[in-house]
Amino acid sequence: MSVWGFYVDSWDGWSQNETASWTDDFNFSPASVYATAMLTGILATNNSFLFSGIVEYRKKNPKTGKHTTVRAGTLGLSFGLGELIIDQNVDRVTFGLGVWDTGGGDWPSRADAVHQVWLYD
């Protein structure tokens, strides 16, 4: 296996007394991919949930050109995102970042995350 491409993005988000979430799309030509997400920094106040991971990815059939979306998780659950994917003929990966601050306090909660996609042969 040899890596021939790499996409990376650093995201951050914050929330105070509410739930907030964001998505981050990586689009590229169909390839074999290894994708993962990780939290790199957190500030958890009140009753907070901070999470990052993979929401879904899209595959392209090399014979028909038809796209198929594969769900890896959901932003509706604090432990509902996919940790990683390894698959072929992928042309899009959608990452998610969630910051749920539900404590009613005076200070916001914050999360930093790194989303990455490795393209390989």
Evaluate if pTM is beyond 0.85. yes
What tokens were used for 74?
């959901």
Mean pLDDT score across all residues of the chain: 92
Q: Where does the pLDDT of residue 94 fall: very low under 50, low under 70, confident under 90, or very high at 90 and above?
A: very high
Domain boundaries, the chain: 3-120
Q: Tens digits of per-residue pLDDT, 27-84? A: 999 999 999 999 999 988 878 889 999 999 999 999 999 999 999 998 887 678 999 9
Instruction: Compute the average pLDDT of residues 20-32.
Output: 95
Q: Is 20 exposed, middle or buried (0-12, 13-18, 19+ CB in 10 A)?
A: middle
Tell me which CATH code domain 3-120 carries: 2.60.40
